[in-house]
Structure 1
């Protein structure tokens, strides 16, 4: 797939490592050193390319119902923000954050960022060599923590009804963090696969045995204490809201008032009786009555000196001209509707 000419000029000798479609002809391109946001020509703007270097000190995200904004802060050099459709945020954030981690020297050359997980005030970045953890309003800043797989001796999961605790044994300590139960399986599998690939083993049991052998232990000294993981901070709100079970109750529904069988019967009898006593009308009588009414109307026009109006050529021309005007107005309305839909689509894409 070819690149827009304006993007080719901005890239120079660099090649994009990620390309994300933002709706319409708008796209986002990520290189090793920067992010380029391409906006195609539209109702609100001309064709353009904006550049966002990866040497940022902080990355934050804000979301609204339709849009999401990614802000890169550069210390004394200020900050830069670009907007994307909310549905594209996760696809955009992953390569951008990977570029920022690489520029900050957190990940090494050749190290792959496998997945990025963002839950409220917890962000987890799983790479091929480490786990990067950040707790706070920002997605990432200098207050991050990292856990190299070379220092990890065990990995386990403690399941809960609303949140799941993931525990790493590293350097003789237990590092634990919580994630929503509906996403914990994704983190568990991604992190476990990264650990197994790093140590070139097939199962966690083999990984634990390998770690115990490296430590000169029988396999228990470096393992996690699965009986008690302790307390620790919880970055997520895992407790459900209290529910008032009495608020939705009500008394038995009211009974319908008794009906009056006698009245209903009398009404039915009366209607049948009236219909039975009225003599049927003959079709000949109806036709005769209609003819008489038409004759009376004609006599009325004759007595008054007026005659019924007949259609003229001028009236037909006016009707034709009016129809042509209505057709033109309909075409204009259709064009206006198309422009409004295009404007709404550009606003949704974060123009």
Structure 2
């Protein structure tokens, strides 16, 4: 397929490694260093080509009902963005993100990007040599993680009703992330194929056996170099029997207290206990005699006053207004009219957006 003359002039000595049809005559071309967006001549614009270098520090994607917008941030050079039809999002994201990873030095020359998966705020890029993982609102930035297949010792999948957990063991620790059930099979097959191809085995079971054998050899080598420094001194020199004997010799403090019981202030104070008790008894009797008892008649009077106050609204001659059938019918009719008008406005909005989208050819 021939290239538009305007695109040929912009490419120069480069050749496109990916080409995505955007609708109408609009197309997107990806080279190793940049992305070119070609807009054919239409009712709203003239023929044009926009260039977006791959040396971006951050790549973000936002979606609307009909469009997907790519935003590339270049630090001090500012941000640049372009839009494509929403149905072309995955087709465009894969080559653009592969170019950005290559320009950032994450992927090496000759390393191919097999698949790109985007699940809400999780992005997975499966290459022929590593797995790149990014969590966040952006598709990619400096907060990414990578797991080289040389460091992977196991790969497992735990299926669930809503999502499937991918369990990747690398560098002696497990890394877990979830993929929706409807995309779990694609993730499983893509990641498994890339891993077994890297190790040149036929299945995941052969890879596990190979990894286990390699791990056993490493442990054997470490055991040869291991030096025994002995068990070392005991942390405590006392024997358990000695500790128990020492505990039996603890003097009972109650015996000493008994010897001085007669001389304590409490014993002295007890001498006047009888006289004080009589005085307290008299005071208590006087207090009991002066106890105040509630008047039941007073409570009855207060209750009657409260009842009178509660019924005072009825004495005024006014009664709460109740909605009539005519008012209810009018309200229902108004509600139906508003809902019908809202549906018409929404339909008109959709038609206008569809017309603009068709005229702009996904721009």
* TM, length-normalised to structure 1: 0.64
Counterparts of 1:2 and 1:102, CA distance in 2? 27
Partner of 2:30: 30
Aligned counterpart in structure 1 of residue 358 of structure 2, from 321, 345, 350: 345
- In 2, the alpha carbon distance for the partners of 1:341 and 1:175 equals 44
Counterpart of 1:3? 3
Match of residue 209 from structure 1: 209
Maintained 8 Å contact 1:212/1:218:
no
Unaligned segments of structure 2, at least 5 residues: 220-352
Q: Please state how far the C-alpha of 1:163 moved relative to its aligned partner.
A: 1.2
Normalised TM-score (structure 2):
0.62
Using a 3 Å threshold, how does the CA distance of structure 1 residues 341 and 43 change in structure 2: closer, same or farther? farther
Aligned 8 A contact 2:59 2:139 in 1: yes
- Count of residues in Structure 1 that have an aligned counterpart in Structure 2: 230
Q: CA deviation at 1:216?
A: 2.0
Conservation of the 8 A alpha-carbon contact between 2:85 and 2:362: yes
Distance in 1, Cα, partners of 2:170 & 2:80: 37
Matches within 5 A, 1:14-163: 14-163=14-163
Structure 1 residue 344 displacement after superposition? 3.9
Cα distance in 2 for partners of 1:105, 1:218 equals 31
CA apart distance, 1:217:
5.7
Structure 1 partner of 2:276: none
Deviation at 1:40, TM superposition (A): 0.3
Query: d(CA) in 2 for partners of 1:175 and 1:140?
Result: 19
1:5 Cα deviation from its structure 2 partner: 0.1
Q: Deviations over 1:178-233 (max 9, x none)?
A: 111111111011000000100000011110111112222699xxxxxxxxxxxxxx
Q: Give the Cα separation in 2 of the matches to 1:71 and 1:341.
A: 24
Q: 1:346 Cα shift?
A: 3.3
Does the 8 A contact of 1:67 with 1:348 survive in 2? no
User: Does the 8 Å CA contact 2:42/2:360 hold for their aligned counterparts?
Assistant: no
C-alpha separation between the residues in 2 aligned to 1:69 and 1:344?
A: 14
Runs of 4+ in 1 over 3 A off after TM superposition: 340-344
CA distance in 1, matches of 2:155, 2:357: 48
Deviation at 1:347, TM superposition (A): 3.2
Structure with greater Cα Rg: 2
CA distance in 2, matches of 1:218, 1:52: 47
Alignment of 1:250-269 (within 5 A): none
Contact 2:43 2:360 in 1 (8 A): no
**CA offsets, 1:246-276, max 9 Å, x none?**
xxxxxxxxxxxxxxxxxxxxxxxxxxxxxxx
Q: Is the 8 Å Cα contact of residues 66 and 348 (structure 1) preserved in structure 2?
A: no
Q: Aligned to 1:84, what secondary structure does the other structure show?
A: strand
Q: Which runs of 5+ in 1 are unaligned?
A: 220-339
1:14–1:31 Cα contact (<8 Å) kept: yes
**Which structure has more helix as a fraction of its residues?**
2
Aligned pair in 2 of structure 1 residues 9, 342: CA closer, same or farther (>3 Å)?
farther
Alignment partner, residue 287 of structure 2? none
